Amino acid sequence: MEMLDDTLPDAGPHAAPHASLFLLRAPLRGLETTGCLTRLPSGPTDTLGERVRAFFAQRSAGPTLLVGALPFDPHAQDALFQPAAFAEAAIPAAMALPPVQRLAAEPTAAAYADAVSSALQHLRADGDALRKTVLARSLHAELAGEIDPRALASRLALDPNVATYVAPLPVADGESPSWLVGATPELLVSRRGLEVTSYPLAGSARRSADPDEDARIAQGLLASTKDLDEHGYVVDAIVAALSPLCGSVDAPERPTLTATATMWHLGTRISGRLKDPSVSAAALAGLLHPTPAVCGTPRELALQTIRELEPVDRGFYAGAVGWVDAEGDGDWYVAIRCARAQGNALRLFAGAGIVRDSQPQLEVEETAAKFGALLNALGIDPAQAL
Q: Catalytic site residues?
A: 132, 186
- Pinpoint the alpha helices (H) of 33-80: 48-58
Axis crossing angle, helix 225-242 with helix 281-288, rounded to the nearest 10: 130
Residue 30 phi, psi (nearest 5):
-105, 140
d(CA 60, CA 81): 14
| In contact, 139 and 338? CB cutoff 8 Å | no
CA distance 82 to 59: 10
- Specify which residues 348 forms β-bridges with: 139, 339
Query: Distance between alpha carbon 19 and the CA centroid of its chain, in Å?
Result: 20
DSSP 377: H
Helix (H/G/I), strand (E/B), else coil: 189: strand
DSSP codes of every residue in 4-42: -B---TT-STTPPTTTT--EEE-SS--EEEE--SEEPPP
The CB-side HSE value for 27 (13 A sphere, CA atoms) comes to 10
Q: Is the peptide bond before 63 cis (omega within 30 degrees of 0)?
A: no
Q: How many helices (H) and strands (E) does the chain have?
A: 10, 22
User: Cα–Cα distances in Å, from 172 out to 176, 177, 181?
Assistant: 9, 9, 19
What secondary structure letter does DSSP report for 173? T
Residue 73 class from Cβ within 10 Å (0-12 exposed, 13-18 middle, 19+ buried)?
buried
**Using omega within 30 degrees of 0 as the cis cutoff, is the peptide bond preceding 255 cis?**
no
Task: Tell me the helix, strand and coil percentages in the chain, rounded to 5.
Answer: 30, 30, 40
